[in-house]
Amino acid sequence: MRKIAYLRATGSLTEVILEAGFVLVDSTFRPLYANTESIRILAYPNSVSSPSTLDGILFQKILSLIPRDLDLSGGTFITQFQSGRRNYTCRVFVLRDHWESPGDTRIAILMERGLAAAGKQRRGSDAPGDPFSFAPDNACFYFGRSRREVFTTLLDMIRQRRGTGVLLAQAGMGKTALLEALAGTVRSESDVAFLPGSFETRLEMVRAVMGAFGVECPAGEPEEQLRCFHDWLLLRHQAGRGVTLICDDAQDLSFEILEGLLNFSSLQSGGQKLVQVVLAGRQRLLEKLTSFKLERLTGDTHVYCRLAPMDDAEVRGYIVHRLQVAGCSTQVFTTAALASISLYSRGIPLNVNMICRHSISLAATINLQVVDERIVADSAYDLVLRAQPAEAWDGHAQAGEPKRPAGLLRDRRGLRLVRKSETVSH
């Protein structure tokens, strides 16, 4: 296996596996050194590998993994996170012994891929993949009617260089997957970057944006950084390339940061916007954008989209599409089961994935090859009970609400089918 070497705080060289990412930070978690693999892992889905991104992208991602008030007196902290479709184990080590002053403490962060061998083995075989994985995957993205309309609207906004577009969606609607599919479509004609994390100051945001696009510029005031960024935008415009900045979960950004992002739409050349900004988030984003603090800037925002829940036909198409992409049989669910999934999930893709995965698992438990509506109902019941009291199901349900399934019974022996002559007890 190939290996690389990184410089330890002592000045000696130590070899680490190539797939591992290594970052050395100070006591405030500001990056001091990072190998290429760590930049690739932390910058995802941005494809940058330049050290100039350290001050922007890496710092924000590190803060999302490691809280600033973390007590590292024990010397080690371990967490897990996901980058793309890969899972990583993150180990944090305090290197106090190498410095005399506590203020000079250095922290080493090692990121190693988890389940890598299992993933490689599955990819090298004919075994089907996971059709209902929660990780965003462009191959699994389903263009139902409503999603195609939103996708086309945002795509036209970017290609026509209209400035700023807003995408609203509740949790679990597939907003991130749609944004990645959008980015994959326009990359052939536009430089695309995802804005990572949240920021305390406008300067942090500007540096992160420049880092996401791989723009190198000496450190300075926000105005100097913006001039440098503007010069780079002009060069891309003259080369016939567009520039698209996508910000997911924008509802968490402060008014100051949102104002800075909206100001990007004022950068023009020949009447065309130099950078297209897509702000995506939940309802709170719209409330911020329509507040008096940002009302002046949102006047130039002409595109507002909202992801609506899928209807029955879209849910069926969504499930069949994911089964086909994963190489699984499309006959796993009966027609009645598909209708039940649409009902219980309320057309929310995340709920569809959860119910489908749980239903397949329950069916396997009782050796059923096909999932019927009773299995789906029991799965939905289990999933809802994790967040709701049992009486929400055992009482009289409102119209359209799922009821306690009458076809399955749980006892100490586990899940078993109930015969028609048996009475289901709650």
* CATH number, residue 9: 3.30.450.20
Give CA–CA dist 92/86, Å, rounded. 19
Give the range among 108-117, 290-299, 333-342, 396-405 with minimum mean pLDDT: 396-405
- Residue 89's identity, in one-letter code, is T
Given this model, what pLDDT does residue 349 score? 92
Q: What does the mean pLDDT of the chain come to?
A: 75
Given this model, what pLDDT does residue 226 score? 81
Q: What is the DSSP letter of 139?
A: G
pLDDT in tens, 350-366: 999 999 999 998 898 88
In a domain, 71, yes or no: yes
Q: In the beta sheet, which residues pair with residue 146?
A: none
The domain that contains 371 carries what CATH number?
1.10.8
Angle (deg, nearest 10), helices 222-238 and 202-212 = 30
pLDDT band of residue 148 (cuts 50, 70, 90) is very high
Cα-based angle 281, 271, 214 (whole degrees, multiple of 5): 55
In a domain, 134, yes or no: no
Given this model, what pLDDT does residue 68 score? 64
Give CA–CA dist 317/220, Å, rounded. 52
User: What share of the chain has pLDDT > 90, as a percent?
Assistant: 23
> What's the token pair of residue 78?
């371990």
In a domain, 12, yes or no: yes
> What's the token pair of residue 198?
């949240």
CA 14 to chain CA mean position, Å: 33
Q: In terms of domains, do 360 and 269 share one? A: no
Q: In terms of domains, do 319 and 290 share one? A: no
User: What share of the chain has pLDDT > 70, as a percent?
Assistant: 70
Q: In terms of domains, do 250 and 370 share one? A: no
The domain that contains 216 carries what CATH number?
3.40.50.300
Statement: residue 282 has pLDDT above 80:
yes
- Single residue among 284, 306, 328 that ends a domain in this structure: 306
The 3-state DSSP class for residue 165 equals strand
Given this model, what pLDDT does residue 104 score? 66
Phi, psi of 156 (to 5 degrees): -65, -40
- pLDDT top residue among 71 and 61: 61
Q: In terms of domains, do 234 and 299 share one? A: yes
Q: In terms of domains, do 153 and 260 share one? A: yes
Q: In terms of domains, do 182 and 294 share one? A: yes
In a domain, 120, yes or no: no
pLDDT in tens, 15-58: 434 468 888 887 777 778 888 788 777 877 776 655 555 556 67
Q: What total number of domains does the chain contain?
A: 3
Statement: residue 13 has pLDDT above 70:
no
- pLDDT top residue among 125 and 140: 140
Give CA–CA dist 160/272, Å, rounded. 9
pLDDT in tens, 178-220: 999 999 899 999 999 888 767 778 888 888 888 888 887 766 6
Q: In terms of domains, do 99 and 181 share one? A: no
Q: Are strands 190-194 and 242-247 parallel, antiparallel or unpaired?
A: parallel
Q: In terms of domains, do 22 and 38 share one? A: yes
Rounded to whole angstroms, what are the CA distances from 84 to 117, 134, 288, 385, 395? Answer: 17, 11, 29, 30, 42
In a domain, 382, yes or no: yes
Q: In terms of domains, do 296 and 325 share one? A: no
Q: How far apart are the first and last CA of the chain?
A: 57
**In which domain, by residue range, is 41 found?**
3-115
pLDDT band of residue 315 (cuts 50, 70, 90) is very high
Q: In terms of domains, do 187 and 292 share one? A: yes
In a domain, 128, yes or no: no
Q: In terms of domains, do 205 and 341 share one? A: no
Contacts of 36 (CB under 8 A, 6+ apart): 49
- Single residue among 285, 306, 327 that ends a domain in this structure: 306
Given this model, what pLDDT does residue 179 score? 93
Q: Which of 46, 29, 412 is nearest to 246 (CA)?
A: 46
Q: Which of 60, 6, 16 is nearest to 248 (CA)?
A: 60
Q: In terms of domains, do 281 and 392 share one? A: no
In a domain, 137, yes or no: no
**172-186, 211-225, 410-424: range with highest mean pLDDT:** 172-186
- pLDDT top residue among 274 and 388: 274
Output the DSSP codes for 348-374: -HHHHHHHHHHHHHHHHHTT-SSB-HH
Given this model, what pLDDT does residue 191 score? 92
